[in-house]
Structure 1
Amino acid sequence: MARKKGDTKICCFLSRSTLSQIIAVIVKNIVLMGYGMSVGYPTILIPDLSRRNIGDPLRLGPEGISWVGSISLITVPLGCLISGVVTQPLGRRRSMQLLNIPYCITWLIYYFSTDAWHVLVNLAIGGFAGGLMEAPVLTYVAEISQPHLRGTLASSASVTVAAGIMIQFIIGKFLDWKSAALCSLLVPILSFTLLFFIPETPPWLISKKRYDEAKESLAWLRGWVSLQDVEKEYEELLSNSRINEQMKQHRMVRKPSMVKSLMSRNFIRPFTLLTFACCLVHFCGLTPIQTYSVKIFNSLHSPVDGHSATAVLGVVCLIGSLVCLLIVRKCGRRKTSFISLGGTTICFFVLGTYMHFAKINTLEEPSNVSHGVTNSTSFAVEHSGQVTWFPFTALILGVFSAQMGIRLLPWTLVGEVFPDEIRAIAAGMMGTSYYVSGFICNKTLLKYISLVSLPGAFWTFSAVSATGVMILYFTLPETEGKTLQEIIDHFAGNSKLGNNIRKKIKNVGEENQQSEKLYRFETT
């Protein structure tokens, strides 16, 4: 049967619409690539600052090293707390653009550092800038994308962060840490420039009564079409904005303070779920393993040196994020998270058991390591070369499992589960909980290993992952393919999403009708 001319035109329009949204998200993601490079940078710093001679102003002991691995995580929440407040008046795009400036400054400070405290202060500044990034980056995707693309485009954020970490790990294999900082400077410069060429989000422009700009932005995002082609969707967005404004004003009469809004079910239920997911990301082992990867690989007597193994780990993290991006639309967030945590549970339990019988109980110091081989009396070196590949493979597979599922969960949900009026602030608060839990995990890891041994730490990672599967089974709904209003209604207790993936996506008009229905319900 021949395809009608109109059908061909529609398919072409949809293709261009998808492409324009992808381009906008790619440009936005370059900001995240720079952030990922800053996240991976302590992994380069830790081995070098550990092995320097006593008396060297750039040398740090175990306590100082624990701060290198964690200080940026504790300053990120400070930025997160004000991220939403800063984002709302400036706009999503301009906020992301301005945040490239402190990253340029921090990379230059690294290059000219002459004392360890310079590095620590700079890590703290970089973390604060990363926190400011949370609200604009997360809300940008939610506000420019169509429902059937939102999950995939949101998932691309974790892919880009993983790519930034991988690039930094590879740079660290070939360059010293100061030269690596100078190379990293190029990314925020590129990001600042490219952000001039993508539009601000239509909902934000409408909220500022910049209606003509909002329509032009929507036309750009739907495939560089004419203003007439987006007239219907624009009117629906405008109607949604007015309904949301009426709902906001009505709520202000009934709930005059933001504190009361944050005490509502619309906030508490999704925020509790996201906070738990944030803790899972770190305490399943993903974050501390990436931070201390060189030391861990050396302790496992990896068949390749610690820096090379870490570069491989970076590539695996990127592949895991790409796999997640590909399967999340088909499997949904629930199944992907269960597969991820299940794989992490098995791999880290097996690895912990291996280390127990191999008597690998502590982390090796870099001064004792030469090209990935430690002292000759170790279990792994006494056995055949093939045996040394087993812990290396188990660790890689465990990190891959965590990266391809649970790593993305809080970041894809945060743009979907909160109402418009608190979305930016809630995103900042969720980022705060994410980085506070990450700081606690990284800062205490070395002491925890000294208490329970390295095998005990990996058994703990395994137990946390198994617990996560059980709790998420009862608390995590499937949001893939659902509209924002349906998701918000679920957490408000007005309806149930269910655990199935919706293949047929509702359009903006249907979402608008749901908003009107909800408004009428609340005003009665």
Structure 2
Amino acid sequence: MKILMRADTHYSIVVSGKDYDKPKYIFSQVLAAVAVSMGSMIIGFSSAYTSPALVTMENSTRIDVTSEQATWIGGLMPLAALAGGVLGGPLVDYIGRRRTIIFTAIPFFIGWMLIATAEIVHLVLAGRAICGLCVGVGSLAFPVYLGETIQPEVRGTLGLFPTAIGNIGILICYVAGKYLDWSQLAYLGAALPIPFFILMFLIPETPRWYISRGRTEEARKALQWLRGSKTKIDNELHDITLCDTENRNESSIREILSMKYMKAILISLGLMLFQQLSGINAVIFYTVKIFKMSGSSIDENLSTIIVGLVNFMSTFLATALIDRTGRKVLLYISSITMTITLTIVGTFFYVRDNLHTDLSKLGWLPLTSLMIYLLGFSLAFGPIPWLMMGEILPAKIRGGAASICTAFNWLCAFIVTKTFYNIIFAIGPAGTFWLFACVCFVGLFFVIICVPETRGQSLEEIENKMTGTKARTRRLSSIANIKPLPSGC
């Protein structure tokens, strides 16, 4: 058998077989995913903080908080995260993915200490702004780091670790919020950056960033650590180097917004839009108040704990399924689930408030619906937009484009969070939840028409498809029984 190829073409030959198709859960990759995801725990805690904290803060004798200031305490974090998203793009490109992530730990600690020791509301707002800035930087840097370090076979599963551990942060906040006031809860928030800071020193920078800086030997060491000491990495390192050679020039804003890359950016922006306009941050930030508003017969603090537990468990379901079913199927299920449950919650409020019907016997319905809503959200629309941002954005523009997408995500989060009460006042609780349901329904068609499937594909393969570039790296995945060539051939 002869294989003829052009001299300038690189082939990665992979022999198919069950030993080669198994996911490779190497300890070093799992450690990297856990270390980075500890930052997501802080993000989850920061997002959930206002739900239990505002209730005790408004009743506190130590600090005076008006209703308008309370909305800013909730809304300032995503607004500051918008700025962090803009700042994070240049940082991950110039100082590296790992250093950018490490540098968020200390400001996180400072921000939480400002909140914990505050005696005037302006210090609380300052602390929320600092934490929000770090949230924006981290939410950009985490998926970029994981997308560049984890093997395609397990990138879906390990790429969901930030969401899973972020949901642990939400659950911790809800459970602790039942027993701690706003200040004590902030001290707990200040403790979370410490293990995050320590773990980040145990993992390397991404090989792709080292290659982009011409530091080939450091890239080799980092890739060898990530893949295991016995793994052959020459082909993968060659692919990364080849891709970097083609994308060596720094990208400008004009190039980022060029038609070549626009498809990938618009898909990522669309996923971010539908993620936030599904109303998730309104539900997370104001869970306690939503249950008070519904008149649920179940204690509102206990309800938030149950919601946090469901949110946490559902991500592990997504982790188990994403590399088996793919991204798109889970997004379909997520959209349909959220549409149905939000419609039910809206109908509950409409029947109770407009038809003046006694629904006290159905006090369990809002909790059950929101539990299923969060199950659907955490299954796909929560983690997958961030995961796919690290997958589909081309290497040359990844930092800048991820910055745009992250900033846009937090802009949408700020709008939803800050205007939630205003929307309720304008169209009522029923109209508000129906509005979110309509957004989720439209999101389903966006996924069907626009979103590609990326399961099991290398970043180079995804980039070739997204940009329409003819692949220079080709995999021959069904070569078997190749015998030595007879002499004289």
Q: TM-score per shorter chain, which class? A: 0.7 to 0.9
Residue 487 of structure 1 corresponds to 462
SS for the counterpart of 1:197 is: coil
Alpha-carbon distance between aligned partners in 1 of 2:402 and 2:340, rounded to the nearest angstrom: 32
Match of 1:244 in 2: 244
> Pairwise mapping of residues 133-282 of structure 1 onto structure 2 (< 5 A)?
133-223=138-228, 225=229, 229-233=231-235, 236-238=236-238, 240-249=240-249, 258-282=252-276
Q: Distance in 2 between matches of 1:243 and 1:144?
A: 15
Matched, 1:102 2:102: no
1:71 Cα deviation after fit: 0.8
Higher mean Cα deviation, 209-218 or 192-201?
209-218
Closer, same or farther: CA 240–142 of 1 in aligned 2, 3 Å? same
Equivalent pairs, count: 460
Provide the residue aligned with 2:327 in structure 1.
333
Q: CA deviation at 1:417?
A: 1.0
Moved more, 472-481 or 39-48: 39-48
Structure 1 position 314, deviation (Å):
1.0
- Deviation readout 1:447-469 (Å, 9 max, x if unpaired): 11011111111111111111111
| Superposed CA offset, 1:68-117 (max 9, x none) | 22111111111111212112232222221121000111121112100111
Amino acid at match of 2:44: G
- Candidates 298, 315, 319, aligned match of 2:313: 319
- SS of equivalent to 1:414: helix
Give the conservation status (yes or no) of the 8 Å contact 2:298–2:363.
Answer: no
Q: Which amino acid aligns with 2:291?
A: F
Conserved 8 A contact 2:239-2:473: no
Q: Does 1:31 align with 2:36?
A: no
- CA gap of 1:495–1:450, structure 2 versus 1, over 3 A, is farther
Counterpart Cα distance in 2 of 1:29 and 1:266: 32
Contact (CA 8 Å) 1:360, 1:455: kept in 2 or not?
no
* Residues 282-321 of structure 1, C-alpha deviations (whole Å, 9 max, x = no match): 2212110111110111122223221111111111111121
Contact 1:142 1:415 in 2 (8 A): yes
Structure 1 counterpart of 2:48, from 12, 37, 40: 40
Distance 1:165 1:184 in 2: 11
Check 1:199–1:439 CA distance in 2 against 1; reply closer, same or farther (3 A cut): same
Question: Is 2:389 aligned against 1:414?
Answer: yes
Secondary structure of residue in 1 paired with 2:248: helix
- Determine the C-alpha separation between the residues in 2 that align with 1:30 and 1:21: 14
1:379 alignment partner in structure 2: 358
Partner residue in 1 for 2:92 = 87
Q: Give distance in 1, aligned partners of 2:46 and 2:354.
A: 30
Distance 1:307 1:231, change over 3 A: closer
Is 1:418–1:426's contact at 8 Å kept on the other side of the alignment?
yes
Structural RMSD (CA) = 2.6
Unaligned runs of 5+ in 1: 1-6, 362-376, 497-506, 512-524
Shift of 1:410: 1.4
Matched, 1:466 2:431: no
SS of residue matched to 1:405: helix
Q: Could you tell me whether the CA contact under 8 Å between 1:99 and 1:132 is conserved in 2?
A: yes
Residues 412-439 of structure 1 deviation map (CA, whole Å, 9 limit, x = unaligned)? 1111112211111211111100000010
Q: For residue 360 of structure 1, report the CA deviation from its aligned partner.
A: 7.8
* Counterpart AA for 1:199: P
Say if 2:143 and 2:389, in contact at 8 Å, map to a contact too.
yes
**Distance in 2 between residues matched to 1:487 and 1:388, nearest whole Å:** 47
**Matches of 1:174 and 1:143 in 2, distance apart?**
40
Letter in 2 for 1:459: W
Deviations 1:206-233 (A, max 9, x none): 233333322222221112x15xx43524
Letter in 1 for 2:67: P
Change in 2 beyond 3 A, CA 1:276/1:244: same
Tell whether the 8 Å contact from 2:144 to 2:390 is kept in structure 1 after alignment. yes
Q: Measure the CA separation in 2 of the matches of 1:127 and 1:360.
A: 38
Output the CA distance in 1 between the equivalents of 2:429 and 2:320: 34
Q: Which residue does 2:370 correspond to in 1?
A: 395
TM-score (ref. length: structure 1): 0.82
- d(CA) in 1 for partners of 2:52 and 2:460? 44
TM-score (norm 2): 0.88
Confirm whether residue 283 of structure 1 aligns to residue 277 of structure 2. Answer: yes
| Identity within the alignment, % | 26
Deviation at 1:494, TM superposition (A): 4.7
| Corresponding residue of 2:475 | 510
Asked if the contact 1:340–1:406 (Cα under 8 Å) also holds between the matched residues in 2, the reply is yes
8 Å contact from structure 2 (residues 101, 138) kept in 1: yes
One-letter identity of the residue aligned with 1:157: P
Please point out which of 20, 25, 42 is paired with 2:28: 20
